[in-house]
Amino acid sequence: MTDSKIMDKLVSLCKRRGFIFQSSDIYGGLEATYDYGPLGVELKNNVKQLWWRDVVTSRTDIVGMDAAIFMNSKVWEASGHVSEFHDPMVDCKNCKARFRADHIDLEKNCPTCGVKEWTDARQFNLMLKTHYGPSEDSSSVVYLRPETAQGIFVNFANAVTTSRAKLPFGIAQIGKAFRNEITTGNFLFRSREFEQMEMEFFVKPDETSEWLEYWSNARLDWYKSLGVTEKKLKLRPHEDNELAHYAAACFDVEYEFPFGWSELEGIADRGSYDLDQHAQHSGKKLTWFDSKTNEHITPAVVEASAGVDRTVLTILVDAYHEEEVKGEQRVVLKLNPKVAPITVAVFPLVNRDGMPEIAEKIIDDLKGDFAAFFDAGGSIGRRYRRQDEAGTPYGVTVDSDTLTDQTVTVRERDSMAQERLAIDQLSSYFRDKLR
Ligand code: GAP
């Protein structure tokens, strides 16, 4: 199977099973914007909850916050995004197609029309603008934030005062970000509206390199903990010429997507760039008082910036498998049970003899602790296949033996192995499996 075929098949599975749809589908869609359906939103929420648990609530040195998307435009002037946040763009003079100049070979012909007639490259600012309030003049321009990080930097003093934080400490948030990308594509990989999970870790300036190393390794390990294939993950240091305008050093966590090794998350040494800029532009003091040395210092920042949608894409691509079972093709998403939208599907073998009622009762007992789903439609084989495509790790079937001995069949998705268990053991069985 070619790499582009895998992506096509995944996009079609996501639509077929209710993971992800093109935005505004019934009107022909809106390029590079996606909607999450019933299964997709569960997967996405699981990713965000695991990140929040591992980065915020399971630690004592990181707090969370949730800043507004709209911010005073002066934030983006101070942060350098108004003057620096751009990509080089070229047009094909023949067919008018637009490309990121650093994403194509300008020595070659246009990939759309096959003619080689390029304009000079020029810089294109990636921030999306709108007007805030009832007037539409230059004073009402606001930007849709291109990163969530600035909401953290401008709240640095608020967070330090209210949480009485001591260096090193971090502030984390999850939220939407927007970029007017010149070229989009590869499904969720590069879209114009996406979600970030960002954590800014404030440290003493002479401790930056050790924390950069710490967070790079910790973040790489996090993807492994979600079950992503280890040999398809790596850390890659940035070359000087690819560093963002605010970064002194950066490591990318990369995944080997069907379209090649690409960035999943960036871990950057932002130094004191952002706090210095905001202190200078706002006239406010953005320092931390070291009571041991009696000094006010401007902390340096190590940032871990992950994409929710890219993580979802990675998990889906990594989990997608096609297998032959008894001469038939089986498509299965081998999702880690921690992220799977449904943990257990419960099936009555037939829709009579009290089997649906027993299945419903099992769901009632499980649903507070596990994502449980009832499916009574079609042959049992078809129901298994549907749940294989949804990535559901366990299936429970109620059959005629259940009526007499209160046992059910539990089927494990990947091995397809089946075992017989008493209904009252199911909860502890699944709890053990998910540990
Ligand atoms: N605050 C730093 C920052 O925003 P970035 O490398 O530009 O750094 C961080 O973005 C992460 O956000 C990326 O690693 C990626 O996961 C995600 N991301 C960035 N642009 C994206 C886009 N257009 N579509 C989907 N995800 C994107």
* pLDDT at position 14: 98
Mean pLDDT over all residues of the chain?
A: 95
Q: What angle do CA 398, 400, 403 make, to 5 degrees?
A: 80
Query: What proportion of the chain, given as a percentage, has pLDDT over 70?
Result: 99
Residue 425 has pLDDT above 90, yes or no: yes
Query: Which residue do the tokens 């699944």 mark?
Result: 430
CA of 65 to the centre of ligand 1 (A): 19
- Stronger pLDDT, 284 or 4, i.e. the higher one: 284
Q: Which residues form ligand 1's pocket by a CB distance below 6 Å?
A: 147, 149, 179, 181, 190-191, 194, 196, 198, 263-266, 303, 305-307, 309-310
**If you measure from the C-alpha of residue 45 to the centroid of ligand 1, how many angstroms do you get, rounded to a whole number?**
18
**Cβ-based burial of 382 (10 A; exposed 0-12, middle 13-18, buried ≥19):** exposed
Structure tokens at 245: 């305008």
Closest by Cα among 208, 202, 295, 307 to 257: 307
The pLDDT value given to residue 183:
85
3 pLDDT band (50/70/90 cuts)?
low
Shortest CA distance to 367 belongs to which of 336, 392, 331, 342? Answer: 342
Ligand 1 atom 20, closest CA: 190
The helix (run of H) or strand (run of E) holding residue 8 is helix 3-17
Distance 314 CA to ligand 1 centre (A): 14
Measure the CA–CA gap between 187 and 258, rounded to whole angstroms: 12
Residue 55, pLDDT above cutoff 90: yes
Residue ID of nearest Cα to ligand 1 atom 4: 147
Angstrom distance (rounded) from CA 98 to CA 230: 36
| DSSP β-bridge partners for residue 22 | 34
Tell me: the pLDDT tens digits for 187-197?
999 999 999 99
CA angle 100, 104, 105 (to 5 degrees): 135
Counting from 1 in the atom list of ligand 1, the atom nearest the Cα of 196 is: 12
What is the predicted pLDDT for the residue at 13? 97
pLDDT score, position 2: 61
Residue 184: pLDDT band (50, 70, 90) is confident
pLDDT digits (tens, 9 = 90+) for 255-271: 999 999 999 999 999 99
Nearest atom in ligand 1 to the alpha carbon of residue 252 is 14
End-to-end CA separation in angstroms for the chain: 35
Answer whether 98's CB lies under 8 Å from 118's CB.
no
Using most ligand atoms within 8 A of CB, pick from 263, 274, 308, 315 the residue to mutate for ligand 1. 263
pLDDT tens by residue, 341-385: 999 999 999 999 999 999 999 999 999 999 999 999 999 999 999
| Closest CA relative to residue 142, chosen from 196, 67, 85, 69 | 69
Q: What's the gap in Å between 77 CA and the centre of ligand 1?
A: 20
- Ligand 1 pocket test, pick from 200, 242, 305 with the greatest ligand atom count within 8 Å of Cβ, gives 305
Residue 414 has pLDDT above 80, yes or no: yes
